[in-house]
Amino acid sequence: MRKTFLLKTGLIFLGITVPSSIPTLLINSFSIGLVSSIIFLTKKANFKFLTLLFFIYGLMVYLNLWSVNKIFIFVILTLLGSFFGYLVNKNNRIKLLLIILTLGYFLVAFIDGRPIRQQVKKEPVLENYIRDTNCYLKTYFLISKGMPYYQAYALAESGEASGDGYPGEIWGWKTPFLFYLWKLFPGSDGRSIYWLFTILVFSLPLTCYLISKKLVGKTYAVLAPFFVWPYFLLPLKESSFLQVEWWGLIFFLIGFYYLLKKNFLLTTIFFTLTLFSRELFVVHLFSLLVILFIKRQKKMLFSIIIPILSILLFYLTVHIPNVANFENLKNMNSWLRETNISSNFNSWPMVRTTLAYNSWQYLFYNLYLFRTSLLLSSLALLFLYFKRKSDKYFLLIASYLPFFLFQFKPGLTTLYHDYWGIYYVPLTLIAVPVVIKLLTNKT
């Protein structure tokens, strides 16, 4: 019992957010109280957890790490969250938590996202921007004026202040799907893209919970959206919401849930949206394809084959011919990204940055939280798979571990690819509750 208590306590600590703004302080502290009232099976155990938590808060005040006012708000709202949790039954506590986390994203977007919305309502000026996200925003403005996508993307890329010209490789040319999706959404500037992204983010707490529920049952599944919540604060507060990886990840998570439900149509649709948002997710889908082939799940096998064939057909008939108008695709470096193999043979320094990316949203990021979640989740999933022979555990580990290993290919990544953590870290966080299932043997 003591080990279980310490494990649950440690896992809740994993999801504590840095209170960088009023919305994050309010939502995270109230959520901690709610989560503790759900996963601790007795009020006595919950009281012990809250006592330990408040002791640590007090220690942080003593060490001048946090202000007294901030700690006071944390304590009051955590107690309120726990109190409200015990006023309703467990099912309603779970619903309340999901509502609070979703509302939290709205508050962060409405309050903390105000400066970035002011920034993206202006069209970037050629030769006056350097980030990829500004390139994407410039492309959006150009196609909104009627310019064809590939011409617009080429102009936006060549218009960067760095003067690097075109991407120089086929993978640097994003597919046009998201840009036309943005154009379809009402609005005339980057603010409409921001709100569309925010609407998609609203689906995350429920999606993460439903995926985890398939693995560990409803009680411990609440930890998944609690862990993932801080990870998506970053794109709501800066221009990285234009980064196509975020969009692809949301579509992938929804598609993965429907894969676990064995819903052929919706799995096919969302995995197709995933690949047309960011084709690099093909690593995830191919890994899942292998598992389904081995398990002879013929129907669901085609829910992955169809998206892969669709993006392949699009590449061959549309994407490559258009990119070839701007790039020399006869140069194999445009395909293999191997120009720096000798200098990047040791890939760990680059991969390590992906495990650090966005960790600063978490209070205890110095404890290498994402490395811990990757290791514990993978070991727990593998153990449960070999013990119970249930495909769902193997499918989840196949959704992130092959991509993590894929990054070690020499010459593939650089220190500028830290954002590749988006491809797999949230999936490891969703898998963390499996550790409790393994040790308690409860669903």
Q: What is the pLDDT along the chain (443 residues), one digit of tens a residue?
A: 677 888 888 889 889 999 889 999 999 999 999 999 999 878 888 888 888 888 887 887 777 777 788 888 888 999 999 998 888 888 899 999 999 999 999 999 999 999 999 999 999 998 888 888 999 999 999 999 999 999 999 999 888 887 667 887 788 899 999 999 999 998 889 999 999 999 999 999 999 999 999 999 999 999 999 999 999 999 999 999 999 999 999 999 999 999 999 999 999 999 999 999 999 999 999 999 999 999 888 889 999 999 999 999 999 999 999 998 888 776 645 555 554 444 445 678 889 999 999 999 998 888 899 999 999 999 999 999 888 878 899 999 999 999 999 988 876 777 778 999 999 999 999 999 999 888 876 54
Helices 369-388 and 391-398: crossing angle in degrees, nearest 10, is 150
* Cα–Cα distance, 254 to 427 (Å, whole number): 12
Beta bridge partners of 122: none
Chain mean position to CA 59 = 32
Handedness of CA 278, 281, 282, 283 (dihedral sign): positive
User: What would the 3-class secondary structure string for the chain be?
Assistant: CHHHHHHHHHHHHHCCECCCCHHHHHHHHHHHHHHHHHHCCCHHHHHHHHHHHHHHHHHHHHCCCCCHHHHHHHHHHHHHHHHHHHHCCHHHHHHHHHHHHHHHHHHHHHHHCHHHHHHHCCCCCCCCCCCHHHHHHHHHHHHHCCCCHHHHHHHHHHCCCCCCCCCCCHHHCCCCHHHHHHHHCCCCCHHHHHHHHHHHHCCHHHHHHHHHHHHHCHHHHCHHHHHHHHHHCHHHHCHHHHCHHHHHHHHHHHHHHHHHCCCHHHHHHHHHHHHHHCHHHHHHHHHHHHHHHHCCCHHHHHHHHHHHHHHHHHHHHHHHHHHCCCCCCCCCHHHHCCCCCCCCCCCHHHHHHHHHCCHHHECCHHHCHHHHHHHHHHHHHHHHHHHHCCHHHHHHHHCCHHHHHHCCCCCCCCHHHHHHHHHCHHHHHHHCCHHHHHHHCCC
CA pair distance 211, 258, nearest whole angstrom: 9
Amino acid at 335: W
Structure tokens at 418: 């830290």
- 388: closest CA among 262, 215, 217? 215
CB 211 within 8 A of CB 430: yes
Q: How far is CA 40 from the centre of its chain?
A: 27
Residue 331 has what pLDDT?
64
Closest alpha carbon to 205 in 107, 109, 100, 110: 100
d(CA 70, CA 208): 29
The amino acid sitting at 330 is: K
Structural domain spans, the chain: 118-189
Alpha carbons 273 and 265: distance in angstroms, whole number: 13
What are the two backbone dihedrals, phi and then psi, of residue 389, each rounded to the nearest 5 degrees? 55, 35
> What local confidence, expressed as pLDDT, does residue 441 receive?
65
Q: How far apart are CA 314 and CA 162, in angstroms?
A: 31
pTM (two decimals): 0.94
